[in-house]
Structure 1
């Protein structure tokens, strides 16, 4: 049986997989970026939880990351469309079907990356904070 953390990350990946861009989890950047963009979900860090004792619960603000990458002649517009679609996908249900208390993306930190002999890449890391509680710090 998967832990709550794994269940939440799997649900987040499924939400990203519903977007037109190719969504991967924990993979390395492939040699070619699909024309509709690429999203790579990184599991990130759960951080130190706040603890309540009665009943015992560990409250996390888990920081996952989404790497968003586009490569096209009009990369600025494509990147804007891709990041807006991530925001819209998360806003539909900020609890991922009741699996966590709240999901919120933070502003992307974008960078343009030149590619020799091809269109430049525009990429960003988009932090996503997952608020959830568990009864076990290993869960």
Structure 2
């Protein structure tokens, strides 16, 4: 039986799969970026939980990350903005991931342009997702 953490991350990964971009989980950046863009979900860290004792529960604010990358010779900024907006719409459509999570909140991305020798430049950002959830134990 998977842990609460894994169940939530798997649900988030599945939710992101509905986007046009290719979505990977904890993979290395591939040599080629798909035309619709690339999103890599990084599991991140659950951090220190707040603990309630009666009944015993651990309340996490887990920081997962999305690495978002687009590569286009033209309209790179527009393609990047469209992908970021699509991620936001997808997350806002169900902030509880079907009731698995208390709340999913994205932080604003800080984008960078990265030149690639002999190819179109990349536009990329890391988006931190705060996943709020409760478990009955640190390993549950």
Give the equivalent residue in structure 2 for 1:136: 137
Deviation, structure 1 residue 74: 1.2
Deviation, structure 1 residue 109: 1.7
* Structure 1 residue ranges, 4+ long, deviating more than 2 angstroms after superposition: none
Give the equivalent residue in structure 1 for 2:108: 107
Whether 1:47 aligns to 2:47 is yes
Structure 1 Cα separation of the partners of residues 137 and 130 of structure 2: 19
Give the equivalent residue in structure 2 for 1:63: 63
Structure 1 Cα separation of the partners of residues 54 and 137 of structure 2: 13
Give the equivalent residue in structure 2 for 1:35: 35
TM-score (normalised: structure 1): 0.99
User: What secondary structure does 2:120 align onto?
Assistant: coil
Deviation, structure 1 residue 92: 0.4
TM-score (normalised: structure 2): 0.98
Deviation, structure 1 residue 126: 0.3
Give the equivalent residue in structure 2 for 1:97: 98
- How many residues align? The count is 139
Structure 2 Cα separation of the partners of residues 120 and 74 of structure 1: 11
Deviation, structure 1 residue 56: 0.1
Deviation, structure 1 residue 83: 0.3
Q: Which runs of 5+ in 1 are unaligned?
A: none
